[in-house]
Amino acid sequence: MKLTILGGGGFRVPLVYGALLGDHAEGRVTRVTLYDTDADRLTAVARVLAEQAAGIDDAPAVVATADLDEALRGADFVFSAIRVGGLEGRAADERVALDEGVLGQETVGAGGIAYGLRTVPVATDLARRIARLAPDAWVINFTNPAGLVTEAMARHLGDRVIGICDSPVGLGRRIARVLGVDPDRAWIDYVGLNHLGWVRGLHVDGRDELPRLLADPALLGSFEEGRLFGADWLRSLGAVPNEYLHYYYFNREAVRAYQDAEQTRGVFLREQQEGFYARMKDPAAPPLATWDRTRAEREATYMSENRDVAGAGEREESDLESGGYEQVALALMRAVARDERTSLILDVRNRGALPVLDEDAVIEVPCLVDANGARPVAVDPLPYHAVGLVTAVKAVERAVLEAAESGSRSAAVRAFALHPLVDSVSVARRLVEGYTRAHPGLGYLDRP
Ligand code: G6P
Ligand code: MN
């Protein structure tokens, strides 16, 4: 099997490669092609992988290339993990929003819209290119905002593109653990959009165990999302939301915390990763040790933005190991390549699973996965408060797709203005001005 990683110079590629090194079964990945637009990053990461592979007989061969067509040809799987505009762009997404008093998070609110407007045209080009050069490849999209970007790519790749996120799996595992249930035996009733979903039940042996959690303040206080949202709110909601819903339910606090922070998340990550790539230019630098040090620093403050606000604490090490997105990606690849049927929570086209959205809307939902790909499972309808958020945010995503396709500025304004976390059309207009000034990549928004 040949795996191509777009964004192959990315900081998390060694995690993916590490997961591949642990797979010795028939049908595993034997060749990895790294593609990136930044040659220095590509060299740095290739050095780390070479060191990871040392002494392992069946380690997948690694090729690094700056030629996209060459990277795509013959690929069985393509991971798309790019960051258009880099962490510099992410920092600008944060700053422009905060200057208007609204949230500039990577995937949520104004920041997520700006990031989407930058990313969709690039992801669309990639999708077209993949459809032409590797029409039989399965494409696994990691690129954020993952739901929106997957939907953009699905317009060209259909159900051959599958989006992934580690947050629903991680949440399900954390809930199972506090309930004393084996996570691999539990059915997690989770649905919504990427970074906008709710666990409504956790079923084991035909019984829903979630009510037991919601009724027990001590249990609720013993895991991250319990502390993040607070026992009272979770009980009142009757579900456990994805951590990213903290930005909706505690928006004012989140914006204030961002404004008060010494550094935004984007700036923090930019500085840290710059350090890694700079050190790696020294041929004497030990690659893995250098990467590991940066990774440890990063994970000490992992996902932090929402957690810092509520003092929810750090994520446990066991969680990072078992629930990480590279594990989700590997499980997905295995199920498809070996026709090993499994269920995973993924970002796929709706196909009727949530009747309140149309068939082509990408949603995040439990799927049955096998050699035929990922098929969403029918789920219970969402309650009205969740329908409200999900449909409003899907309307925003559609406006982003329209703006990216047509270059229409009024569609871009509509995207910002319709978002539940942007409180005025005038703010939306100023955001479009601010973002087009900050990002050269948004120059295409030049039509009325
Ligand atoms: C979570 C999210 C991902 C995000 C990651 C890293 O796992 O589900 O979508 O990319 O956190 O966030 P960071 O702020 O460290 O870039
Ligand atoms: Mn995610």
pLDDT tens string 11-20 = 999 999 999 9
Residue 34: pLDDT over 80: yes
Contact between 243 and 167 under an 8 Å Cβ cutoff? The reply is yes
Binding residues for Mn(2+) are: 165, 195
Binding residues are: 90, 144, 165, 195
Give the C-alpha separation, 74 to 185, whole Å: 37
Residue 33: pLDDT over 70: yes
| Ligand 1 contacts CB of residue 347 (under 6 A) | no
Ligand in nearest proximity to the CA of 303: 1
pTM: 0.96
Residue 297: pLDDT over 90: no
Contact between 17 and 46 under an 8 Å Cβ cutoff? The reply is no
Residue whose entry in the numeric block shows the structure tokens 């990072």 = 320
What pLDDT is attached to residue 417?
Answer: 98
* pLDDT (mean) for 10-34: 95
Residue 312: pLDDT over 80: no
Residue 309: pLDDT over 60: no
Q: Which one from 76, 166, 189, 319 is the annotated catalytic residue?
A: 166
244 labelled catalytic: yes
| Ligand 1 contacts CB of residue 93 (under 6 A) | no
Binding residues for substrate are: 90, 144
Give the C-alpha separation, 194 to 168, whole Å: 9
Give the C-alpha separation, 135 to 43, whole Å: 28
pLDDT tens string 372-426 = 999 999 899 999 999 999 999 999 999 999 999 999 999 999 999 999 999 999 9
Half-sphere exposure of 325 (CA within 13 A, CB side): 18
* pLDDT (mean) for 413-441: 98
55, with CB counted inside 10 A (0-12, 13-18, 19+), is: exposed
DSSP bridge pairs for 201:
189
Tokens of 213: 């959690």
* Nearest C-alpha neighbor of 178 from the set 228, 229, 212, 206: 212
Q: What is the mean pLDDT of the chain?
A: 94
184 labelled catalytic: no
Give the other-Cβ count within 10 Å of 59's Cβ. Answer: 17
What pLDDT is attached to residue 159?
Answer: 97
User: Looking at per-residue confidence, does 445 or 305 come out higher?
Assistant: 445
Output helix, strand, coil percentages for the chain, rounded to the nearest 5: 55, 15, 30
Contact between 96 and 88 under an 8 Å Cβ cutoff? The reply is no
* Nearest C-alpha neighbor of 7 from the set 32, 28, 49, 38: 38
Give the C-alpha separation, 68 to 130, whole Å: 10
Q: State the DSSP H helix or E strand holding residue 190, giving kind and residue range, or none if neither.
A: strand 187-193
Question: ipTM of this model?
Answer: 0.98
DSSP string, 285-299: S-HHHHHHHHHHHHH
* pLDDT (mean) for 142-163: 98
Q: Coil, helix or strand for 54?
A: coil
Ligand in nearest proximity to the CA of 300: 1
Q: State the DSSP H helix or E strand holding residue 363, giving kind and residue range, or none if neither.
A: strand 362-370
Contact between 123 and 112 under an 8 Å Cβ cutoff? The reply is no
pLDDT tens string 240-286 = 999 999 999 999 999 999 899 989 999 999 999 999 999 999 999 99
- Å from CA of 107 to ligand 2 middle: 8
Whole-number Cα distances in Å, 242 to 166, 174, 402, 419: 11, 12, 27, 18
Residue 313: pLDDT over 70: no
276, with CB counted inside 10 A (0-12, 13-18, 19+), is: buried
Ligand 1, atom 14: closest residue by C-alpha: 303
Tokens of 94: 């944060």
Ligand 1, atom 10: closest residue by C-alpha: 144
Give the C-alpha separation, 235 to 176, whole Å: 17
pLDDT tens string 49-107 = 999 999 999 999 999 999 999 999 999 999 999 999 999 999 999 999 999 999 999 99
Choice from 84, 88, 107, 166 to test ligand 1 binding pocket (greatest atom count within 8 A of CB) = 166
What pLDDT is attached to residue 315?
Answer: 60
What pLDDT is attached to residue 40?
Answer: 96
Contact between 347 and 166 under an 8 Å Cβ cutoff? The reply is no
